[in-house]
Amino acid sequence: MIGIRIHGRGGQGGKKLSKLIAQAAFMEGKEVQSFALYGAERRGAPVVSFVRIDTETIEVRGYVNTPDVIIVLDASLMEMEEVGVINGKPDLGTVIINTKDKYIASNYYTVDATQIALDVIGKPIFNTSILGAFAKSTGIVSLKSACEAIQHDFNSMPQKIIDKNIEACKKAYDMI
């Protein structure tokens, strides 16, 4: 089973990202779980979302305490000890960070998903950019499935918006 933990701030799209990752894996025939941890939710407060992916029925419930993949939507969370971004991460696990900075570690992948979103979508809505970075850096889902998940999940939006989000996903995929 693959465990994924997503750290972000309220309003950054972490919950939507967990849903998109799960949808992409589901489209590939995998079993999935996707859920978020809420407190007294407010915009800007640290929040956590989780995804589990397996080829068999997932019977485990609860938080993903020892993730295989950690996604950080706001690099400033890395410095907040109380958030515990890296807690429980196995040494060889993958860490994907939305930042302009580069981290020197073989299992850390950085992408300026915010800038990609601004350039392509015109707004700092970067969860689809991170989805592309996730697909490339982990290989857990294909780029094709990631794009299909965007198409499926955003189906009530105008096709022009869907196309821009797919473009942002592909651009981040290519930058990793």
Q: Which residues contact 91 (CB under 8 A, 6 or more apart)?
A: none
Q: Which residues contact 33 (CB under 8 A, 6 or more apart)?
A: 22, 50, 51, 52, 58
Q: Pairing between strand 31-37 and 94-98?
A: unpaired
User: What is the reported pLDDT for 81?
Assistant: 64
Count CB atoms within 10 A of the CB of residue 44: 10
Distance between start and end Cα atoms, the chain = 24
| pTM for the model | 0.93
Count CB atoms within 10 A of the CB of residue 115: 14
User: What is the reported pLDDT for 115?
Assistant: 98
Residues composing the chain: 176
Residue of 7, 12, 5 whose CA lies nearest to 129: 12
Amino acid letter for position 91: D
Mean pLDDT, contiguous 10-residue spans, the chain (176 residues): 94 94 98 84 81 97 93 87 70 88 84 97 96 97 98 97 98 96
Q: Catalogue all structural domains in the chain, each as residue range(s) with its CATH number.
A: 2-175 (3.40.920.10)
User: What is the reported pLDDT for 41?
Assistant: 60
